[in-house]
Amino acid sequence: MKWIVGLGNPGTAYAGTRHNVGFMAVDALAKRFGISVTQSKSKGLLGEGNVAGTKVALLKPMTFMNLSGESVRGYMDYYKANLEDLIVVYDDLDTEIGKIRLRYQGSAGGHNGIKSIIQHTGTQIFNRVRMGISRPEPGMNIADYVLSNFPKSEADKVASMVDQTCDAIEYALTHPFDQTMAKYNR
């Protein structure tokens, strides 16, 4: 089974924020694949289905960003899920707004959700899709920035980025991740 974890913060107050693009991507995948992500499991919301002959699980941790690893670990333990079948989707300050970057390993890069996953899984080796939110203007607080909503002027770039993320993940369901990286890291 392939499992896709979108990182974000629960609650309507965070729904449209930069930090919640991982949730946005999972919601878009759920719509695309006809999967309902409403089952409460492993400290998150879970949905399962079949896509192109592959069993797929979509997970949105409800632990808040900094504790995302608790939900990931809980899912791994309960379902005996393999890390090589995991794809984590999250926001990235160092990637330009509207762009995505795929990686299969690396440090947390200052992202507390990824740091929590590394802590709870004991490894930095897992597939990732980083969704670009760009850095804020000099002097703006990072926490305030990532918890701010996207302005209307960025709506088209965000929508395109979510679609591209979904395309990459759908491709990764039936292709090795290194091939997916070669196709989508441009």
Please check if 64 is assigned to a binding site: yes
| Cα angle value 125/128/133 (rounded, 5°) | 135
19 is catalytic: yes
| 112 labeled part of a ligand binding site | yes
Cα–Cα distance measured from residue 104 to residue 92, given in angstroms and rounded to the nearest whole number:
15
Contact 124, 83 (CB under 8 A): no
Burial label for 18, CB within 10 Å (0-12, 13-18, 19+), is buried
CA angle 135, 138, 143 (to 5 degrees): 55
- Options 19, 111, 120, 175, the catalytic residue: 19
- Cβ of 102: how many Cβ atoms within 10 Å? 21
Give the 3-state secondary structure of residue 30: helix
What does DSSP say about strands 125-132 and 100-105: parallel, antiparallel, or unpaired? antiparallel
149 annotated as belonging to a binding site for a ligand? no
Q: Pseudo-torsion of CA 65, 71, 72, 77, nearest 10°?
A: 160
Binding-site residue numbers are 14, 64, 66, 112
Annotated binding residues for tRNA: 14, 64, 66, 112
Please identify every residue annotated as catalytic.
Answer: 19
